[in-house]
Amino acid sequence: MFQCEEAERRRDHRKLENLYYECLYDIVRNADTNGANLPALNRIKAKIVKLHSQRLKSVLQDNVVADIFEEEQPTFYHLTQMQKRRTA
């Protein structure tokens, strides 16, 4: 069940990414010379970046800090770094 859900989520992610790239290519193909399409290009680019960051968010949150030994408890510095990483 989990594998099917994961496969479906990857497929949906790929479809959405392909849609954004198609929109991007359509805007570039139909571009005007006055630069009126620049805001639309920036919006689509931002959506693509957000899509990639959402996919990598869980990967980055689960990273362990490399400068902590196994038996050590995380310090305040490490906790703030982990919090910054999660919010970023």
Summarised one tens digit per residue, pLDDT across range 11-46 is 998 999 999 999 989 988 887 767 778 888 889 999
For tokens 């990273």, what's the residue?
Answer: 63
- Give the whole-number percent of the chain exceeding pLDDT 70: 77
CB contact at 8 A, 88 and 64: no
Q: Which residue has the higher pLDDT, 75 or 87?
A: 87
Average pLDDT, integer, range 72-86: 77
pTM for the model: 0.56
Q: Which two tokens stand for residue 65?
A: 């800090």
What is the three-class DSSP state of 6?
helix
- How many Cα atoms are found within 13 Å in the side-chain-facing hemisphere of 72? 11
The CA-based angle 66-67-73, given to 5 degrees, is 105
- Dist. CA 77–CA 88, nearest whole Å: 16
Tokens 């910054």 sit on residue: 84
